[in-house]
Chains A and B, each alone.
Chain A
Amino acid sequence: MIAISGSDLGHFVPEVILLAAAVAAMFVHLFVKKGGRRGAGYVALAGIGAAGLALGLTPPSADALFGGHLTADSFALFFKAAVLAAGALAIVLAFRFFDVERSEPGEVYCLALLSMVGMMAAVSATDIVTTYVSFELFAIPSYVLAGIFKKERRSSEAGIKYFFLGTLSSAVMLLGMALVFGLTGATAYAVAGPALAGANGLAALVAMSLFFVGLFFKAAFVPFHMWAPDVYEGAPTPLVIFLSTAPKAAVIAVLVRAMTVLFGGYTAEGSYILQAVALATMFWGNLAALTQKSVKRMLAYSSIAQAGYLAIGLAAWGESARMAVPFYVAVYVVMNAAAFGLILLVDGGGRFDESVDGLRGLVRRAPVAAASILVVLLSLVGIPPTAGFMGKYFLFAAAVDRGLVLLAAAGALNSAISLFYYFRIGKAMFLEEADGPAPGAVHASPAAQASDRPAKRAAGVSRLVTVVLVLSAAVLLLFGLLPSLLASLAASARL
């Protein structure tokens, strides 16, 4: 039977710490009368910090742990770090959001941590049952997170949509898993993989397709992305930061593991599927983003398109992509969090302006923040000397190395298309002047208008968000100028 030794748990200290922090955050939120909610946030941040530290100390091991259910190889550790970074960024930015909204649902922190534990387990999972269970662990709290503002229609709608489509995708994935089990009688990737390679090809392909479709849903790959713009637009911004970064990192890792180990006998077919998905995702994401008026919805499509670039790396999986995909995942987390973070920068009288007008003339009011946002935008487009360029370069080079020159060309073309909408933000910040009344005031709630806060305060620029933006920009520039720093880490991420 399955032999579990205590030492196996030693590889999962970060998850244990996060679980403990989740429980602690819940208790702080429930029982500390004054400031308990924010206290829960601090507990969560401390938990993530401690988990990150523990992660750094965890030695990578390619062994099959917990009877072949989990592994803690360097590949898993890298993606866990990405999940932790995404969680930390989202929580820090959430402080700002809740301050302005003047309501702070403290359970957010506990739920986010639980969800992260699920993602980290999924990244490590080497068995279809464990994969499914960890996916549910990360998915269920995230449905609640999307709809956390129960009184707000947009948020509730986002939660319901996310729940229904998420459950549907889980069911599809489960069907694929059931086929795998039916064909091979095994659940562990390492056992089922070789068995599948020798099994009935058509059935195995159906199993792979169903499994992949489930994952594509969760990573918001086109054509399984329909939920994403609505959910990202409706959910509270810091939770969008969380939902658009951490799960994507985790799903990419699961995809790689499934593609190479479980369906290792069908890599050619898998590559075709991923090529199609990459093309559809990039073009649809970028073209749809072009037509958006709301910055938030535009960024939602942008984050879909960005995942499309990652799909190029998955389709071209090989020696070059092995480094390129983890590299871009790390860069994506920072870029995307910072991009959504810019919505939280300016608070126009108790409300965040989600149209591009709110950013007009920002360089006059907040030159440092504007310059940082510019770097983030350049990185998202893929203009050097930013990490976004290097990441895209590595992905495209991986495609060319596998002979997929046209796929690389499509990626490059998309990066040029994306300039147009990303630089609507750049244009507003730098080229346009903020004239007339602050546009944020128009959308302000009556309560905020009634309060006689001075006008200057009303268009306040958050110091916290500025710091996050500056740090993100610094990281993106550093890894853009000296990509070797991150590339060597990414290259060491081995399955």
Chain B
Amino acid sequence: MNILGVPILTFLVFFPVAGMVVILFLPGSRTKAIKLAANIFTGLEFGATLLLLTRFDAASGDMQLVERLPWIKAIRAQYLLGVDGISLLLVLLTSLLTFIATLSSWQAVQKRLKEYYVFMLLLETSMIGVFLALDMLLFYVFWEVVLVPMYFLIGIWGGERRLYAAIKFFLYSLFGSVAMLVGILVLRSQHQTFDLTAMVAAGSVIPAALQGWVFLAFFLGFAIKVPMVPFHTWLPDAHVEAPTAGSVLLAGVLLKMGAYGFLRFSLPLLPEAARRYAPVLVVLALVAIVYGALVSLMQKDMKKLIAYSSVSHMGFVILGLFVLTPMAAKGAVLQMVNHGISTGALFLVVGVLYERRHTRLISEFGGLSSRMPVYAAVFLVMTMSSIGLPGLNGFIGEFMILMGTFPVSWLWTAVAATGIVLGAGYMLWLYQRVMFGKLSTPANESLKDLTFRELATFLPLVVLAFWIGIFPKPFLAVIDKPVEKIIRIVNPAHFEAPR
């Protein structure tokens, strides 16, 4: 399938670059034109990802719409793109969240617009590239390029301590990435190819001891991205200092890259090591779930609270991946999408208040529901989605993860379930402190409710939250086969044992 004569996946990756070029040539004084162009390009990109659905075959667990060109002949690296159900959902999430983030920046970003939208589009290209690349070197290239625009988004348009947060984010991520690079080097020397599908097809040719080291290298790269405890310390800083749109993409997409990496590379390529170290990762995930939730309870800053809640929620995703059952892994993939929707929306929710009051301290607010009823409704839906209320998206993902975990260990399930209880605690308490009670601060008297544009940014997320919550079947249908394929490689015993 082609768009404008370009194969669709290539089009999806590089269309934002076209937007970058257009914006670069617009004069800096034409602010409206720049904003408009950025929104049109991210909107069209989202439209193009929807087109992908028409050609996607959910019944197949293989890579589809594969594009293959020689890239670096000397080392047999290829320009190799492809999509399966897992990538499909994440690409859709990426293009939707980028569009929403761009739209939400219309008023929020006032300085250096041109650079802002250029970095935004560069970020979109690299994020989509990460989810579509099937050549490990190409994947690494996109993976690294993601860091550069995000560094600038935090560093230029961020809050008070933006310089510190930006370099901390970049350094942490880069240390993880170079560890991963060493892992890629070893994999490549064992397989003599960068082609992911060929590596998976070749089966486990790597001796178990070496697998352990490569697994560790990949672990560093992905665990810092997720972030897993104890590599999470960059996250609160980056989230608190990043502009709203940056936080949305950071939480909504960048964190998913780490979980995606585990699922796409660590599990199928290093199955023996993955089996061996799975309990370690599960324990780290459980620590993240409980610790993240406890720390969230203590936060005074709304953004920091949601940042730590991400640590807890991503712990669920990692738990789901590493109990190595199809049910939990499917729940984990769905939970990646759910977290993108609910946490992305919650950062937008905080952004709305920050734009109006220039503070994010919970103590500055209270009783807002009387002044901003529509806002209160949106906030409530997203709070419930984050908690995992049945009927909303968060419930399905968490429930599947717990259900998939239970046959493996009731103890793990019990610990993870406390995370949900604590999650309900900190989110409801946040909602109560901000929205209910008396309107005590005079500055809040004149707060305006959501504008039409703001409502438009929330609407798709609210719709999706209900859709996945009530009728998740179409979403589960696309990930069913590819996830099962991966779990079959890493944990064949599960399929042999009598149910």
Question: Which stretch from A176-184, A237-245, A271-279, A415-423 is at the chain B interface?
Answer: A415-423
Contacts of A394 in B (CB 8 A): 75
Flag if B74 contacts A408 (CB, 8 Å).
no
A138 close to chain B: CB less than 8 A? no
In the complex formed, the residue of B with least CB distance to A384 is B141
Contacts of A53 in B (CB 8 A): none
Contacts of A385 in B (CB 8 A): 141, 145
Contacts of A397 in B (CB 8 A): 75, 185, 188-189
Query: Complex: how many Å from CA A408 to CA B214?
Result: 13
B298 close to chain A: CB less than 8 A? no
Flag if A416 contacts B174 (CB, 8 Å).
yes
Query: Complex: how many Å from CA A413 to CA B74?
Result: 25
Flag if B145 contacts A384 (CB, 8 Å).
yes
Contacts of A345 in B (CB 8 A): none
Flag if B189 contacts A430 (CB, 8 Å).
no
A230 close to chain B: CB less than 8 A? no
Contacts of A378 in B (CB 8 A): 148
Contacts of B182 in A (CB 8 A): 396, 400, 405, 408-409, 412
Query: Complex: how many Å from CA A430 to CA B167?
Result: 13
Contacts of B151 in A (CB 8 A): 423
Question: Which stretch from B88-96, B155-163, B309-317 is at the chain A interface?
Answer: B155-163
Contacts of B75 in A (CB 8 A): 394, 397
B72 close to chain A: CB less than 8 A? yes
Query: Complex: how many Å from CA A95 to CA B166?
Result: 37
Contacts of B74 in A (CB 8 A): 323, 483-484, 487-488, 491
Of B144, B145, B171, B182, which is in contact with the most chain A CB atoms at under 10 Å from its CB? B182
| Contact A389 B144, CB 8 Å, known A409-B182, A412-B182, A431-B162 | yes
In the complex formed, the residue of B with least CB distance to A385 is B141
A157 close to chain B: CB less than 8 A? no
A401 close to chain B: CB less than 8 A? yes
Partner of B174, one of A363, A419, A432: A419
Flag if A384 contacts B144 (CB, 8 Å).
yes
Smallest beta-carbon distance B319→chain A, Å: 29
A365 close to chain B: CB less than 8 A? no
Contacts of B170 in A (CB 8 A): 419, 423
Smallest beta-carbon distance B110→chain A, Å: 15
In the complex formed, the residue of A with least CB distance to B179 is A412
Smallest beta-carbon distance A406→chain B, Å: 9
B38 close to chain A: CB less than 8 A? no
B181 close to chain A: CB less than 8 A? yes
| Contact A396 B147, CB 8 Å, known A416-B171, A431-B163 | no
Smallest beta-carbon distance A213→chain B, Å: 30
B358 close to chain A: CB less than 8 A? no
Query: Complex: how many Å from CA A463 to CA B170?
Result: 31
In the complex formed, the residue of B with least CB distance to A399 is B185
B186 close to chain A: CB less than 8 A? yes
Interface string of A363-395 (1 = CB under 8 A from B): 100000000000000100101110001100110
Interface size class of A (residues with CB under 8 A): 20 to 34
In the complex formed, the residue of A with least CB distance to B70 is A484
Smallest beta-carbon distance B243→chain A, Å: 13
Query: Complex: how many Å from CA A140 to CA B137?
Result: 45
> Do most interface residues of chain A lie in helix, strand or loop, or is the interface mixed?
helix
Contacts of A384 in B (CB 8 A): 140-141, 144-145
A154 close to chain B: CB less than 8 A? no
Query: Complex: how many Å from CA A415 to CA B151?
Result: 17
| Contact A401 B189, CB 8 Å, known A383-B147, A419-B171, A430-B156 | yes
Contacts of B186 in A (CB 8 A): 400, 405
| Contact A423 B185, CB 8 Å, known A378-B148, A430-B155 | no
Query: Complex: how many Å from CA A420 to CA B189?
Result: 30
Flag if A487 contacts B72 (CB, 8 Å).
yes
A427 close to chain B: CB less than 8 A? yes
Partner of B181, one of A323, A412, A483: A412
Contacts of B185 in A (CB 8 A): 393, 396-397, 400, 405, 408
Smallest beta-carbon distance A392→chain B, Å: 9
Query: Complex: how many Å from CA A486 to CA B456?
Result: 49
In the complex formed, the residue of A with least CB distance to B162 is A431
Flag if A393 contacts B137 (CB, 8 Å).
yes
B499 close to chain A: CB less than 8 A? no
Query: Complex: how many Å from CA A39 to CA B360?
Result: 64
| Contact A415 B137, CB 8 Å, known A423-B167, A431-B162 | no
In the complex formed, the residue of B with least CB distance to A381 is B174
Interface residues of B in 361-419 (CB under 8 A from A): none
Query: Complex: how many Å from CA A412 to CA B186?
Result: 13
Interface string of A152-190 (1 = CB under 8 A from B): 000000000000000000000000000000000000000
Query: Complex: how many Å from CA A396 to CA B183?
Result: 11
Flag if B188 contacts A430 (CB, 8 Å).
no
Smallest beta-carbon distance B141→chain A, Å: 4
Flag if A415 contacts B178 (CB, 8 Å).
yes
Query: Complex: how many Å from CA A431 to CA B162?
Result: 9
Interface residues of B in 157-199 (CB under 8 A from A): 162-163, 166-167, 170-171, 174-175, 177-179, 181-182, 185-186, 188-189
Flag if A427 contacts B163 (CB, 8 Å).
yes
Flag if A484 contacts B181 (CB, 8 Å).
no
Contacts of B163 in A (CB 8 A): 427, 431-432
Query: Complex: how many Å from CA A59 to CA B175?
Result: 45
Flag if B148 contacts A396 (CB, 8 Å).
no
Smallest beta-carbon distance A283→chain B, Å: 14
Query: Complex: how many Å from CA A464 to CA B58?
Result: 56
Smallest beta-carbon distance A261→chain B, Å: 24
Flag if B141 contacts A416 (CB, 8 Å).
no
Query: Complex: how many Å from CA A416 to CA B182?
Result: 12
B30 close to chain A: CB less than 8 A? no
Query: Complex: how many Å from CA A127 to CA B162?
Result: 58
B152 close to chain A: CB less than 8 A? yes
Contacts of A389 in B (CB 8 A): 141, 144
| Contact A420 B167, CB 8 Å, known A384-B145, A412-B178, A431-B155 | yes
Contacts of B166 in A (CB 8 A): 427, 431
Flag if A383 contacts B72 (CB, 8 Å).
no
Of B148, B186, B189, which is in contact with the most chain A CB atoms at under 10 Å from its CB? B189
In the complex formed, the residue of A with least CB distance to B177 is A416
Contacts of B140 in A (CB 8 A): 384
Query: Complex: how many Å from CA A323 to CA B74?
Result: 9
In the complex formed, the residue of B with least CB distance to A418 is B174
Contacts of A419 in B (CB 8 A): 170-171, 174
> Given contacts A400-B189, A409-B179, A491-B74, could you give 18 more A-B pairs where the C-beta distance is less than 8 Å?
A323-B74, A363-B115, A383-B144, A385-B141, A394-B75, A400-B185, A400-B188, A405-B182, A412-B178, A415-B178, A416-B171, A427-B167, A430-B155, A430-B156, A431-B152, A432-B163, A483-B74, A487-B73
Q: Can you list 6 A-B pairs with a CB-CB distance of less than 8 A?
A: A384-B145, A385-B145, A393-B185, A413-B175, A416-B175, A431-B162
Residues of A within 8 A of B (CB): 323, 363, 378, 381, 383-385, 389-390, 393-394, 396-397, 400-401, 405, 408-409, 412-413, 415-416, 419-420, 423, 427, 430-432, 483-484, 487-488, 491
